[in-house]
Amino acid sequence: MSTQTRQGLNMDDLGLDDFKPRQPTTPKKPTQKAVADVTSFPSREATEEDQLNIKGSKAVLDRFRALRKAERYKYADLLEFMMDTYEEK
């Protein structure tokens, strides 16, 4: 069994004179909007959108859906168009 001893590291030979550890930074508290954007979780703030459920005969609702699809409108846009046309009379 050999009894070799390890030679110590010479710190001057490593060239780490310019090495400095990073300064710790204090993390900023994320805003509610930033968290909502990242997580895709909607904010509980009031929006301009609402929802309307309409109960009616299947024939009438199917006709409305078919018209919407044929004209490539969103449901609310078609409803708005129809109401504007009705009010012009």
Phi (first) and psi of residue 26, to 5 degrees? -85, 125
Q: Which domain holds residue 58?
A: 54-89
Instruction: Give the pLDDT score at 2.
Output: 63
Q: Is residue 86 a part of any domain in this protein? A: yes
Query: Does the predicted model carry a pTM greater than 0.85?
Result: no
Amino acid identity, position 52: L
Q: How far apart are CA 37 and CA 66, in angstroms?
A: 35
Tokens 């001057």 sit on residue: 12
Domains held by the chain: number: 1
pLDDT in tens, the chain (89 residues): 567 788 777 777 777 777 788 887 877 777 777 777 777 766 666 778 889 999 999 999 999 999 999 999 999 999 999 999 999 98
Q: Is residue 42 part of a domain?
A: no
- Can you list the alpha helix ranges (DSSP code H) found in 1-89? 32-39, 58-71, 75-88
